[in-house]
């Protein structure tokens, strides 16, 4: 749930699928332009996600804190390094749906495809692979446990790990 909370704000960008589908029609939609960084990039959605996660979690307090933090880490990432190709800083209406008063943006924001994002992505993937080898699971398990098992098995066969570091032991 903590990992999902770090990506769930971008659910408001799924309108791009409808936009693609309606592109060739008489009245193309612009759901991505209208709602991305608006509907789910705010404190209201952060609270909703935190409440849902807390209800579903066994370790409620810890999950609530980590989900809320993880969600905001996403917002920080967008604020720091998600400038659009047209140079738009893509302000985050943080207080929505309660208020439009606060629009978060940073003048030093780098572009989405700028080198810091590429370096950070590479380093974080490397860390995820090292942790996957050590812990026997990776973020791939969010999508497929079977694919995650294949990844971990491949990593461990290429880079064997001592059993005391394995989480797969009972
Ligand atoms: Zn985002």
What are the tens digits of pLDDT across the range 8-36?
999 998 998 988 988 888 888 888 888 88
Instruction: State residue 35's pLDDT score.
Output: 86
Please tell me the distance between residue 32's alpha carbon and the centre of ligand 1 in angstroms: 12
pTM of the model: 0.81
Query: Each residue of 30-70: pLDDT tens digit?
Result: 888 888 888 999 999 999 999 999 999 999 999 999 999 99
82 C-alpha vs ligand 1 centroid, how far in Å? 8
- Cα radius of gyration rounded to whole Å, the chain: 19
Beta carbons within 10 angstroms of residue 139's beta carbon: 17
The pLDDT score that the predictor gives to residue 36 is: 86
Ligand 1 centre from 90 Cα, in Å? 10
User: Which candidate, 93, 104, 168, 92, places its Cα nearest to that of 132?
Assistant: 168
- The environment of the single-atom ion ligand 1, i.e. residues with CB closer than 5 A, is 9-10, 78
Question: How remote is the CA of residue 164 from the centroid of ligand 1, in Å?
Answer: 38
């Amino acid at each position: 749930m903590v990992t999902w909370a770090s990506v769930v704000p971008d659910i408001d960008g799924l309108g791009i699928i409808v936009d693609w589908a309606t592109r060739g029609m008489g009245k193309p939609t612009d759901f991505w332009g209208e709602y991305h960084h608006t509907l789910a990039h705010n404190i209201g959605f952060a609270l909703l996600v935190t409440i849902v996660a807390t209800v579903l979690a066994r370790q409620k307090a810890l999950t609530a804190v980590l989900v809320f933090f993880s969600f905001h880490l996403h917002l920080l990432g967008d604020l720091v390094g998600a400038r659009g190709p047209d140079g738009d800083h893509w302000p985050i209406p943080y207080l929505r749906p309660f208020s439009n008063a606060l629009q978060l943006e940073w003048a030093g924001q780098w572009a989405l495809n700028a080198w810091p994002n590429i370096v950070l992505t590479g380093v974080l993937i490397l860390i995820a692979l090292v942790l996957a080898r050590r812990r026997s699971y990776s973020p791939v398990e969010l999508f497929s446990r079977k694919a995650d098992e294949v990844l971990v098995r491949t990593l461990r066969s290429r880079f064997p790990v001592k059993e005391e570091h394995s989480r797969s032991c009972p």
